[in-house]
Amino acid sequence: MFDLRDLYQQVIVDHNKSPRNFGKLADFNHQADGYNPLCGDKLHIYLKVDDAGVIEDVSFEGEGCAISVASASLMTDAMKGKSLDDFRTLFDGFQHMVTSDLAEAPDEEHMGKLAVLAGVREFPSRIKCATLCWHTLHAALQDSAEPAKTE
């Protein structure tokens, strides 16, 4: 039997209550919308990437459930100062972590604080809540005019 605390760890509850990097960046050069039509979760990501391809700053706005807000909060924290290659590696790692077999322990060494979201594996209907911000950041990097979806 899985405990609800596997999903709603204190870190997630805290990030939901006081999301980091929330609001519009004063200076940004990429942005995108993310939308989960099933839940109505909406995100907007602002991104400042420097000439060397390093994420200088990133923030988000929007509304959603605790999982989507905490995930965006944790992701934006994790991405600051990271290269675009780092983003791809972490995005892949994150997607693997939230869809992998329950027997597989999350890769805390590489995922860092993001590993607290591994609990969504036990709640299939909530996986998309955790990945929406990643798809949105990906869309922002590509300057996609279409809102990112988790489908």
Partner 1 sequence: MMDGKTPMDLDRIRADFPILHQQVFGKPLAYLDNAATTQKPQSVIDAVREYYEHDNANVHRGVHSLSERATAAYEGARRIIADFFHAHSEREVIFTRGTTEAINLVASAWGRANVRAGDEVLITHMEHHSNIVPWQMLCEQTGAILKVVPINEAGELLMPEFEALLSERTRLVGVVHMSNALGTINPVADIVGLAHAVGAKVLIDGAQAAAHLPVDVQALDCDFYVTSAHKMYGPTGIGVLIGKEALLDAMPPYQGGGDMIRMVTFEKTEYNDLPYKFEAGTPHIAGAIGFGKALEYIRGIGFDTIGNREKDLLTYATTQAEGFDGLRRIGTARDKACVLSFVLDGIHPHDLGTILDREGVAIRAGHHCAMPVMQFYKVPATARASFSIYNTEAEVDALFAALHKAQEIFA
Q: Which is nearer to partner 1, 1 or 26 (CB)?
A: 1
CB of 109 to partner 1, least distance (A): 28
Q: Which is nearer to partner 1, 13 or 102 (CB)?
A: 13
Half-sphere exposure of 138 (CA within 13 A, CB side): 15
| Euclidean distance between CA atoms 1 and 14, whole angstroms | 24
| Euclidean distance between CA atoms 149 and 136, whole angstroms | 8
CB of 131 to partner 1, least distance (A): 14
CB of 5 to partner 1, least distance (A): 7
Half-sphere exposure of 78 (CA within 13 A, CB side): 25
Q: Which is nearer to partner 1, 22 or 123 (CB)?
A: 123
Q: Which is nearer to partner 1, 39 or 54 (CB)?
A: 39
Give CA angle at 106 (100, 148), nearest 5°: 60
Query: 3-state DSSP call for residue 32?
Result: strand
Q: Which is nearer to partner 1, 4 or 105 (CB)?
A: 4
CB of 130 to partner 1, least distance (A): 12
CB of 98 to partner 1, least distance (A): 15
DSSP state of 147: P
Give the footprint of partner 1 on this chain (CB under 8 A): 1, 4-5, 7-8, 13, 16-17, 38-42, 63-67, 123, 125-126, 129
Nearest of 89, 82, 84, 98 to residue 132 by alpha carbon? 98
